Amino acid sequence: MTMTKSPLQVARAAYQPKMPVALQGQVSLKEGAKTQSVADQEEIQKLFPNTYGMPVIELVPQEGEATQVAPFNVGVILSGGQAPGGHNVICGLFDALKRINPENKLYGFLGGPSGLVEGKYAELTEDVIDEYRNTGGFDIIGSGRTKLEETEQFDNGIKVCNELGIKAIVIIGGDDSNTNACVLAEYYLQKNCGIQVIGCPKTIDGDLKNEMIETSFGFDTACKTFAELIGNIQRDANSAKKYWHFIRLMGRSASHIALECALQAQPNVCLISEEVEAKNMTLNEVVEQIVEVVVARANAGLNFGTILIPEGLIEFIPAMRVLIQELNDMLAENEEFAALEGDDAKREYVKSKLTAASCDLYRSLPKGIAKQLTLDRDPHGNVMVSQIETEKLLIEMVQKRLAQLKATKEYTGKFAALNHFFGYEGRCAMPSNFDADYCYSLGNTAAHLIAAGKTGYMALVKNLTKPASEWVAGGVPVTMMMNMERRHGKMKPVIQKALVDLNGAPFKYLAAHRADWADPQLSYIYPGPIQYYGPSEVCDQPTRTLMLEQSNN
């Protein structure tokens, strides 16, 4: 399909991503020491006897004559939510496969993992690939959230791959998708069917990272997109001199996006879920933290500001988490509750079933938020956090507290608030130079791991705060990143999520500067839109988070 393109798209299509030196010619592998999982070693090894303990791999330039590799076919899957740069992973994979052997073929499974199971695919030829270079989105083959967990799914995959002559599958996804990729790799080794599986680290939430994976792709572009919007709002607030903007940012399990956007834009308040949990803060204490800043700025004649709120904040407030868990248990397949008519009847029913402490908290919530907490659950039986308008909850509670202070003359300002939620605005943005380069390198790396016969690995590219030519490409065994966690009442192997490290340099920087950012005398930072052409310090820089994390390394 030929697409109509904007002038910027045309220019970006011609952009040639930068790569590590090791990927620019013939490649060989250097293996390190054997590895073990980050936790629960015995359990993980028992579940993955064939892929446990494999070494970390580094790709290095090959000396001597090029090695001839017999032609092979590869399948690729986009799994889970979109993230900027996914198309470049596929483009990098395609280009490297063709360099390894021009007869190699790449097939894209349509609509995510279900495409493999159901045999829905399309061959990705050069004409198709060229339409998607350096573009955002996952529309080249589509994505999906089907989990590859059942033996029947695995066996269907074998049948489809054999029909297409596919030697390896590349799964581009987050922690759950890459966990499933490792399960698939283990099964295919047990069955001795000759199909390799390689993963690529994707999620804009930024929680797929560890000592080996410095960042997941898409995080850089998404945060720069959100930070531009926040900067625009701050410029408007500073111009109009009114409105407090409560901005909720995507990121249920961790606050990486909120933290990175704060580092880029310097808002007046940035809440970090992990800090709220660590300090055992109540909802009222969170509100009071905001109120103190609102009052201080009002006393200086400034009745405006910006507040960043992580999407998953409400689940990190210990008392709220207890309430939500009680609601999850109460509402699981509860036909009695479902049969009730009217919000008041449902509210009274809920109050009658909660413990005393949770009931008091539930009663204190605005009715709209209390209702959102009892809406339909997700497939796992959990509250759908993205539907809880935490920013509106905080606005209402701050308003109520300010009214109390006004009555005692402790607050004399004016409070008008606007609410925002930024999520989908960043998931399919045109990738930054960093993500375009990083993703293209990841795709190239995956191709070389396949050519070397590797399976159960995640492609990695490290040293990311250096120029791209100095990046280090390789592979890390997925089992190295795993631990056991309770899922649906059972202990299962999963890649360990990375939360914001309260002892890490990025959070420490926030903690050291947030009082200044709340101060009326300090102006905001306006990051502006993503730049693609110009000086490297403007166009090629990674996230502030990554630069702070690597500053002492």
Segment holding 302, helix H or strand E: none
**Catalytic residue of the set 205, 220, 437, 540:** 205
3-class secondary-structure state, position 365? coil
Measured from the Cβ of residue 188, the count of other Cβ atoms closer than 10 Å reads 23
The pair of structure tokens assigned to 215 is 């960042």
C-alpha closest to that of 511 among 322, 183, 262: 262
Q: Where are the alpha helices (DSSP H) in 149-301?
A: 151-164, 175-191, 219-240, 256-265, 273-278, 283-299
Return the bridge partners of 59, or none.
Answer: 29
Residue matched to tokens 């283990």: 186
C-alpha closest to that of 174 among 86, 71, 243: 86
Which residues have C-beta within 8 Å of that of residue 402, sequence separation ≥ 6? 291, 294, 295, 411, 413, 415
- Whether residue 205 lies in the annotated active site: yes
Which residues have C-beta within 8 Å of that of residue 482, sequence separation ≥ 6? 37, 38, 39, 40, 44, 48, 179, 182, 493, 494, 495, 496
Q: Determine the Cα–Cα distance for residues 63 and 535; give it in Å rounded to an integer.
A: 34
What is the rounded (10 degree) CA torsion for 172, 177, 178, 181?
-90
Q: Where are the alpha helices (DSSP H) in 121-174?
A: 126-130, 151-164
Question: Half-sphere exposure of residue 371, counting CA atoms within 13 Å on the CB side?
Answer: 7
Active site residues: 205
